[in-house]
Amino acid sequence: MSKLWGGRFTKTAEEWVDEFGASIGFDQLLVEEDIEGSIAHVKMLAKCGIVSEEEALQIQNGLQTLLKKAKNGELEYSVQNEDIHLNIEKFLIDEIGPVGGKLHTGRSRNDQVATDMHLYLRKQIDEISKEIKQLQTALVTQAKAHVETIVPGYTHLQRAQPVSFAHHLLAYFWMLERDFSRYQDGLKRVNISPLGAGALAGTTFPIDRHYSAELLGFDRIYENSLDAVSDRDFILEFLSTSATLMMHLSRLCEEIILWSSQEFRFIELDDTFATGSSIMPQKKNPDMAELIRGKTGRVYGSLFSLLTILKGLPLAYNKDMQEDKEGMFDAVTTVKGSLKIFTGMIESMTVNTDVMKQAVHSDFSNATELADYLASKGMPFREAHEVVGKLVLQCIQQGVFLLGLPFSQYKEASELFEEDIFEVLDPKTVVARRNSAGGTGFDQVRLALEKAETLL
């Protein structure tokens, strides 16, 4: 079977060469976008008098038939037709006859594939954005139930200061809100039409690129035909945002893995999101969290791969750019799957409040409160820091925590200590008093929840 572009050639490639060069194995995912773009293109051709209204109607009807078959899984793609564009064109000609060949007037596969990917990413960003909001909703729901649940806060993975568990969860809400914002901002670059830019130089036909862009819901067109067919910044931006999102998910995965361990026991994951061991019957492994943590590397890889592909390419289109799609498709699948799994994990996890309470009563995470107490009574903070450090050392030597140290030893350390020091050291008081804007104080957390729910 001769290629649709084969008029200039006297030889045909061997089958294995065709297979190496073909992209139909993965770009068939763009079938709906390809047909959508083609329908807009032929409508524009008719409006501009480049094809007749009758021919345009024939082509549109043929494309609608192919779209229905595609959705029903009835199209059998051929490697010999290389990519989704030539496969659809061949199907169309088989469906309606030679008039189907007029569809390609005034365009190239170069602007066609770029159009497909713009349409594809626009749709996927919308779906990912909805999944982000679902996860944020799950975080807010858990946070509302645990405003006054206190958990150790950490720096360097060492106990630092007690915080509201809701405050900790809402930190990830705000990370996700930035991710959501980045995706929405990226749509400004995604929602531009390259259709009609041709192979690289435009076309001699009197086309109306603004009309086809309007039909496809694009905000504007690329102003330069070379840029239109060679730009993949919008995919890089999508991958960069996705890599940042996955990094945020991976950080929470790490915490979930720690929190569900026997050493922490702060939470327990629902059985749906854990697995057992083939040899150790007691095990309950946080496999879904571990998988998301691991899959983060796939998205990083897709970003770095495309950056590497593009870095040395002269204008305009080069076959290297066929390698832009698989990483993009994989990132979409990974991000959507990870968000969906995460939402379920957060919604269904059990929070062991009693274990958290015991933890904050069995550490020195309230030590900063002592230093602040002395500083509020006029002692320079650096001096107060040293006094409290020595008190902590005494506790370690005596095998007690700050709440278990006799008041007499506080008085020996500084005359500024009063009997109210034990109330000040209570973890609930420690958290409640941190009422600066954005802090972990319960009033601030409730205010943050109100803001979060407004955003949702």
pLDDT in tens, 280-290: 888 899 999 99
The answer to the question of residue 365 being in a domain is: yes
Last-in-domain residue among 298, 329, 358: 358
pLDDT at 246 over 70: yes
Residue 19: which pLDDT band, with cuts at 50, 70 and 90?
A: confident
Residue 213: which pLDDT band, with cuts at 50, 70 and 90? very high
Q: Which tens digit of pLDDT belongs to each residue from 390-407?
A: 999 999 999 999 999 999
Q: What rounded mean pLDDT belongs to the chain?
A: 94
Q: Could you list the residue range(s) of the whole structural domain that residue 436 is in?
A: 361-455
**8 occurs within a structural domain:** no
Distances (CA, A) of 193 to 74, 230, 232, 327, 329: 29, 13, 13, 22, 20
Domains identified in the chain, total number: 3
pLDDT exceeds cutoff 60 at 1: no
Four-residue CA torsion sign, 60, 61, 62, 63 = positive
275 band by pLDDT with thresholds 50, 70 and 90: confident
Query: Encoding tokens for residue 427?
Result: 């973890």
In a domain, 375, yes or no: yes
Q: Do residues 167 and 52 share a domain? A: no
Judgement on whether residues 62 and 128 belong to the same structural domain of the protein: no
Q: Where are the alpha helices (DSSP H) in 233-324?
A: 233-259, 287-310
Q: How far apart are the first and last CA of the chain?
A: 55
Mean local confidence (pLDDT), 304-329: 94
Residues 376 and 239 placed together within one structural domain of the fold: no
Q: Is 2 within a domain?
A: no
- Worst-scoring range by mean pLDDT, 21-25, 159-163, 304-308? 21-25
The answer to whether position 395 is within a domain reads yes
C-alpha 213/C-alpha 115 separation (Å) is: 10
Same domain, 279 and 334: yes
> Which residues, including other chains, have CB under 8 Å from residue 15's CB and lie 6 or more apart?
79
For residue 10, name the pLDDT band (cuts at 50, 70, 90).
low
d(C-alpha 260, C-alpha 269), whole Å: 7
Q: Is the pLDDT of residue 125 over 70?
A: yes
**pLDDT for 270 beyond 60:** yes
Last residue of a domain, one of 323, 358, 393: 358
CATH of the domain at 84: 1.10.275.10
| End residue of a domain, out of 105, 136, 152 | 105
- Domain-located, residue 6: no
Looking at the structure, tell me whether residues 69 and 160 fall in a common domain. no
Percent of the chain with pLDDT over 70: 96
Can you say how many angstroms the Cα of residue 159 is from the centroid of all Cα atoms in its chain? 30
The CATH code of the domain that includes 401 is 1.10.40.30
Residue 5 predicted with pLDDT over 90: no
Q: How many CB atoms lie within 10 A of CB 423?
A: 9
Q: What span, in angstroms and rounded, lies between the C-alpha atoms of 377 and 394?
A: 23
Mean per-residue pLDDT, 71-99: 95
Same domain membership, residue 213 and residue 116: yes
Q: 4 pLDDT band (50/70/90 cuts)?
A: low
Residues annotated as catalytic (active site), given as ranges:
156, 277
Average pLDDT (443-453) is 98
* Residue 423: partners with Cβ closer than 8 Å, 6 or more residues away: 429
pLDDT computed for residue 411 by the predictor? 93
Establish if 354 belongs to a structural domain: yes
Q: Is residue 147 part of a domain?
A: yes
Looking at the structure, do residues 166 and 268 belong to the same domain, yes or no? yes
- Over 80: is that where the pLDDT of 14 sits? no
Q: Lowest mean pLDDT: which of 2-6, 19-23, 35-39, 246-250?
A: 2-6
Q: With 80 as the cut, is the pLDDT of residue 350 above it? A: yes
Does 141 share its domain with 232? yes
pLDDT at 15 over 60: yes
Strand ranges inside 323-383, DSSP E:
350-351
300 and 170 part of one domain: yes
pTM for the model stands at 0.92
- Please count the other Cβ atoms lying within 10 Å of the Cβ belonging to residue 122: 18
Region 297-320 average pLDDT:
95
- Same-domain status, 71 and 131: no
What CATH code is carried by the domain that includes residue 194?
Answer: 1.20.200.10
Percent of the chain with pLDDT over 90: 90
Residue 252 is predicted with a pLDDT of 98
Place of tokens 């609608």: 64
The C-alpha atoms of residue 214 and residue 206 are separated, in whole angstroms, by 17
Residues 254 and 329 in one domain: yes
More confident residue, 14 or 146: 146
Lowest mean pLDDT among 37-41, 132-136, 178-182, 358-362: 358-362
Higher per-residue pLDDT: 237 or 368: 237
Same-domain check for residues 173 and 66: no
How sure is the predictor about 211, in pLDDT bands with cuts at 50, 70 and 90? very high
